[in-house]
Amino acid sequence: MVVMVRRSGNNRLAQVRMWVAVLAANRGVPVSVRLLCETAVVRLGVTGAVVTVDMSTGWSETRCATDMLGERLAELQVTVGEGPCVDAARDGGPVLVADLDAPASQRRWPLFAPLAVESGVGALFALPLCVGAIRVGVLALHRVQAGGLEPATLADSLAFAAMGLGLLLDEQAGLRAGDFAEGLPLHDPRLHQATGMISAQLDVAMADAFVRLRARAFAEQRTLSELAADVVAGRLRFEPTGEMS
């Protein structure tokens, strides 16, 4: 019985990918972050969806917003330097705010919350797109009406976030959207240990180390897990010079 629940968990991501792929096929365009946001609005029953991307400067930039309100919420958080998306990016966990007007929300974000309510939003759900210390961005879903996400909707929104993360990581690694289709082995600790080792070998940030690892796996047509296992075992080292850029 529990095993079935487990399988349905894996199916959620597959389901979300399919929804987005169907929309892309109907429009005759490639799968993109924008299509993902549009699909999320329809499937999750939210007012709008926004993806912001973390820049190397430490600022976040809006990549895609399905409505003006979403755009405004993203800008507001950058301006006042606080808000659910800021917290989600910093802590690496979702920040789900069912009622921005509630005292707890107003206390937590004294600058952002009143302004957000004033601009007409009731609930905001910020889902970080990150791999450990590698911050890629945030998927934010908002509703005009206050109220929490149903458990099934919450699980779906996490699947949307997982897909968004994959799309942005592919982009960073210079791969086509969809190249990650077989899935990143993010549950494999060796992938992350290898990333840490490469970051020390090349003296680069964790994000760059991850990109280098993926690019190499792609170039050598090997799986990330295989390559990561080689790095962790010391069979493969990344050299600072004369290597792939």
What is the contact surface with another protein in residues (CB under 8 A)?
Answer: 1-3, 5-6, 8-10, 12, 91-96, 98, 128, 130-134, 148-149, 151, 154-155, 158, 186-190, 192-201, 206, 232
In the complex, the smallest distance separating the C-beta of residue 193 from another protein, rounded to whole angstroms, is: 4
Which are the contacts of 128, defined by CB distance < 8 A and separation ≥ 6? 88, 89, 91, 92, 93, 94, 135, 137, 138, 161
Task: Choose between 32 and 183: whose C-beta lies nearer to another protein.
Answer: 183
In the complex, the smallest distance separating the C-beta of residue 24 from another protein, rounded to whole angstroms, is: 25
In the complex, the smallest distance separating the C-beta of residue 70 from another protein, rounded to whole angstroms, is: 21
**Which token pair is 156?**
């779906």
Task: Choose between 38 and 52: whose C-beta lies nearer to another protein.
Answer: 52
In the complex, the smallest distance separating the C-beta of residue 25 from another protein, rounded to whole angstroms, is: 27
* CA proximity to 94, closest of 48, 137, 125, 71: 125
Task: Choose between 21 and 206: whose C-beta lies nearer to another protein.
Answer: 206
Task: Choose between 80 and 232: whose C-beta lies nearer to another protein.
Answer: 232
Facing residues of 95 across strands? 126
Task: Choose between 51 and 95: whose C-beta lies nearer to another protein.
Answer: 95
In the complex, the smallest distance separating the C-beta of residue 130 from another protein, rounded to whole angstroms, is: 6
